[in-house]
Structure 1
């Protein structure tokens, strides 16, 4: 069950109370019968490091396929080597 912080608007009395999510908020100060307000604090948990976010576990999408590197190598060969060499087999395309 969560702990909530309250502060009185009349006498500045501050206190914490453990309440269920379904419990109604407190409205009256137990010391002066003044109006209470909820005090919102910073989050009590911080996620640091890698592995906590959706994009941390994904593989990089900027990889080069074997077909791209083969065509680049073929374009740098001389014209005499092109006529005598056999064409490279095509790499199977991968779909994700």
Structure 2
């Protein structure tokens, strides 16, 4: 199940919640009760392992 990161615009409370894709997003802050919660989106870190990911790995010599 995916984990989503939320932040309250009213009090600044950060929290995460495991939710199904079909669940409705959380709208009410569990700390202050305000209806100002939004999802926080961030870049997903990826790591390339093995050969073929660098310029020198994917080409032969160009002589």
Query: 4+ residue stretches of structure 1 with deviation over 6 A?
Result: none
Name the count of aligned residue pairs: 56
Structure 2 segments unaligned to the other structure (5+ residues): 54-59
Corresponding residue for residue 41 of structure 1: 42
Q: Is the helix fraction higher in 1 or 2? A: 1
- C-alpha distance in 1 between matches for 2:12 and 2:29: 10
Report the alpha carbon displacement of residue 43 of structure 1 after superposing the two structures with TM.
Answer: 0.8
Q: Is the strand fraction higher in 1 or 2? A: 2
Structure 1 residues 22, 32: CA separation in 2 closer, same or farther (over 3 Å shift)?
Answer: same
TM-score, length-scaled by structure 2: 0.70
Task: Select the structure with the greater relative contact order (CA < 8 A; seq sep ≥ 6).
Answer: 2
